Amino acid sequence: MFASLSGYYLGTRGEELYDCLALRKGKALEPYLEEYVRNGNAECSQELGQGFTKPSYALRGYALCPSGQQQKAHLTTLIAEIDSSKSCSDSKLAAVTASPQPSSADTR
């Protein structure tokens, strides 16, 4: 189930969290990611429709359902990082999941 999220655009912060958790799962997750590299992951567009494959203003020009090429590039990089034993430390995970702090402009 977790690997299937690779077929959705999760936003910048969501992608960072996904990658961090994937690195922590490492080799256990890799076969599932490799399957999506080989066969693609059309779950998003099948579930939500082709309209979600188009760039969205609300998503800063990204589509909720990335193209097969975008998915493959992301997963290939992620698998290479798993293979090189790259990790995601507890402090990195905490930083990714931390609530954004309001700026002084937000508190006025």
* pLDDT tens-digit map of 55-92: 999 999 999 999 999 999 999 999 999 999 999 999 99
**41 domain-assigned:** yes
Query: What pLDDT score was predicted for residue 47?
Result: 95
> Which of 18-22, 61-65, 86-90, 103-107 has the lowest average pLDDT?
103-107
**80 domain-assigned:** yes
How far CA 74 is from CA of 9, 27, 98, 104, in Å, comes to: 11, 17, 24, 35
The HSE-up count of residue 42 (CA atoms within 13 Å, CB side) is 5
Range of the domain at 64: 3-84
How many domains does the chain contain in total?
Answer: 1
**105 domain-assigned:** no
